[in-house]
Amino acid sequence: MGSRFYDAPIDDYLPQNGNRGYRVSRYELDLNYKVASNRLAGRAVITAVTTAERPRFSLDLSQALPVSKVLVNGSKSVKYTHQRGKLTVTPRERIPAGGILQLVVQYAGAPKPVRGPWGEVGWEELTEGSLVASQPNGAASWFPCDDHPSSKASYRISITTDTPYYTLANGELVGKQTKAGQTTWVYEQTEPMASYLATVQIGRYRRHQLTDRNAPVPIHAVLPTSLRAAFDHDFARQPEMMAVFSDLFGPYPFQSYSVVVTEDELEIPIEAQGISVFGANHCDGRRGAERLVAHELAHQWFGNSLTIQHWCDIWLHEGFACYAEWIWSEAAHGPTADQLARATWHTLHREPQNIVIGDPGPTLMFDDRVYKRGALTLHTLRLELGDTAFFRLIRDWTARHRHASVSTEEFTDLVGHYSVTPMQPLWQDWLYSEPLPPLPPIGGNARHWGQNTR
């Protein structure tokens, strides 16, 4: 039997996801995708270090992608089983703890999203092309992986598809070759990345650089030509947004930032590492989605560079990204963060008081109250500490854990270094109790963002 039958779950929110006995350091994916027939053929080379000597090792991989061959450490094909979303491999020889485990997996099939309590996530067909939106457990819909946010690795992603299509993946484009009507795109993601943040975007797109050569962070748009005019208006303030967030949150954590807009409409935007994906409906010519533009950009710090160790701490992603919306509004001379916080508090006060955002449970982990109450928690902390200490804390948080995994306990411990009063009552009220606490009044320490945050 596979190891999943006698191992305790790595994460109670997704008990079937993640695997024990190794730590992946690198994925090298060679993919060939036929748009018209939705057929994906892949060869994955997964390099890991073992953490224990085990008779077998497992990977997460959808049953929609049958496996044809598995190699371990260069050996001839080895025994494997592929059942219920787990590819379980038995090496010919035992590998001691601390040894190299290199798995080569060949597979092919018609990729489709993974069904779960949060709908369908993963590889999804568009009218012309495809997108990948894997949060929280959809990475296995297109490649074999250790599909858990605490498992971060570097990636090389090579995708071959029909030449009319533009293909984007995480990291920097390091190679592109066209031959016989097919184009191969090769991307290198050097910074560690969780599997759910890995993505491929394919469509009839064109790429545009939105910043000049001297900009500290290159920003690109990848979208259909028909949406360019509306995009140029709706997303025009991204460079200013990047400057505000880099000042307040610390340096942007990746080499560049790309925004994809699909021809199809999407219910919600999607974050990936170094990339955000919006639907055509988010280009309305009126900046109607600018709040979401700020939210997705903020995830590059909170979620992508700093990634939670367990899904129960999801507020560390979504609460921060939601609070960034309010920070941007204030910086852009709209309603202040405090005005938005108090309006949000009144809205939440009328809703059921039956969620603990520090551990909301799997069915409620993407509940809007996790986002909004998470943001209110941060605003309360800002009022308690004052702007200077609050934003120094945030920059310290992003610097200490850059490209690493984080927990609520690590955040609350760090806050203790910035406060002269015990903060445990704040965490108990806001993160671990159901009733919505009152917002503190604006005290002598609190002031608007634009006055002085350094």
Catalytic residue among 155, 165, 371, 418: 371
CA 321 to chain centre: 12
List the one residue out of 157, 142, 145 whose CA is nearest residue 107: 142
C-alpha distances (whole Å) from 75 to each of 27, 60, 81, 101, 106 are 19, 21, 17, 11, 14
Helix/strand/coil for 166: strand
Q: Which residues are annotated as a binding site for Zn(2+)?
A: 295, 299, 318
Active site residue 384: no
For β-strands 152-162 and 22-34, DSSP reports them as parallel
φ, ψ for residue 92, nearest 5 deg:
-70, -35
Cα(first)–Cα(last) distance of the chain, in Å? Answer: 57
Q: Which amino acid does the sequence have at 126?
A: L
Catalytic residue among 191, 296, 330, 384: 296
Asked if 410 and 309 count as a contact pair (C-beta separation under 8 A), the reply is no
Asked if 62 and 141 count as a contact pair (C-beta separation under 8 A), the reply is yes
∠294-403-147 over CA atoms, to 5°?
A: 90
Active site residue 6: no
Percentages (nearest 5) of helix, strand, coil residues in the chain: 30, 30, 40
- Would you name the residues annotated as active-site residues? 296, 371
